[in-house]
Amino acid sequence: MRLDGKVAVVTGAGSGMGREIALLFAKEGAKVVVSDLNEQSAQATVDQITAEAGTAVLVVSNVAIEEDVQKMIDTAVEKFGTLDILINNAGIMDGMVPAHEVTDAQWERVFAVNATGPMRAIRKALPIFMEKGQGTIVNIASVGGLFGSRAGAAYTAAKHAVVGLTKNVGYQYAKNGIRANAIAPGGVNTNIGVGSTAPNEFGMSKTMPGMAVMPRLGEPSEIAKVALFLASDDSSFVNGTVVTADAGWTSY
């Protein structure tokens, strides 16, 4: 029970990596705030946790909306008395749209969910962590946040921003007992896809050559295990860094 007595907020917990993280954290003893835009899928996560004798509460939230982010963190404090772990997992893809075709609306939507949402959640959580003298943040970045052509322009830039935010927070609050790390998954078998049923042809043509050297797709449960390591005291000396989980894809 590596998270016994801890309270965790997991965004995008209705499916994929977020659901597996929420389920695993609950099994390890955490009380989990299951946050997702889709109420039905989030409720399914809560139901599975409670069926396995875990503790969870549902919060329907859009991380692109400031009020929803506030509500998400406030719910953890109201229901469970505090917050110990923040998992910024919610994210969207960008349809592989390249820089010469990306619109302001596309750019702003991807940044709102993938970068601004995590920033706002961290901003809300930090005063709680600082008062306690401890807290853990895990951001789900991407290999797209480490390299240049794993996605379109907006997603690539937003995930690079998440990496920078992680490093900044990790260092600046280290002496407050707070750790911030990120996971950079490679290809994972989830429903996020490329973010469009008709991805941009130019963008896809630039990303596809790299797909050929991917050893395999990962499973959401494999990413959840990395998140558990980073959220637990097992990683007490790990801070302000990015753990790549991609079966060796980016080592080529």
pLDDT of residue 195: 81
More confident residue, 197 or 245: 245
Mean pLDDT score, 211-222: 96
> Which is it for the CA torsion 200, 201, 203, 204, positive or negative?
positive
**CA–CA dist 183, 139 (Å, integer):** 6
Residue 191 pLDDT > 80, yes or no?
no
Determine what percent of the chain is predicted with pLDDT higher than 90: 97
**Helix (H, G, I), strand (E, B), or coil: what is residue 70?**
helix
Mean pLDDT of 95-111: 98
- Looking at residue 193, what is its pLDDT? 78
pLDDT at 197: 82
Average pLDDT of the residues of the chain: 97
Query: Sheet harboring 7-11: ordered strands across?
Result: 55-60, 31-36, 7-11, 85-88, 135-140, 178-185, 242-245
pLDDT computed for residue 118 by the predictor: 98
pLDDT at res. 53: 97
Q: What is the DSSP string of 35-76?
A: EES-HHHHHHHHHHHHHTT-EEEEEE--TTSHHHHHHHHHHH
- Say how far apart CA 31 and CA 199 lie, in whole Å: 38
The 10s digit of each residue's pLDDT in 58-93 is 999 999 999 999 999 999 999 999 999 999 999 999
Spot the catalytic one: 155, 171, 173, 252.
155
DSSP 185: E
pLDDT at 194: 80
Most distant pair of Cα atoms in the chain: their distance: 51
- pLDDT tens digit sequence for 13-63: 999 999 999 999 999 999 999 999 999 999 999 999 999 999 999 999 999
151-168, pLDDT tens digit by residue? Answer: 999 999 999 999 999 999
Q: Which CATH code, of 3.40.50.10490, 3.40.50.720, 3.30.1370.100, 3.40.50.300, is assigned to 7-243?
A: 3.40.50.720
The three-state secondary structure class of 138 is strand
Phi then psi for residue 136, to 5 deg, are: -130, 135
155 is catalytic: yes
Q: Given this model, what pLDDT does residue 218 score?
A: 97
Residue 88 has which token pair?
């910024």
Q: What is the pTM of this model?
A: 0.97
Q: What is the pLDDT of residue 192?
A: 78
Neighbours of 16 (CB within 10 A): 22
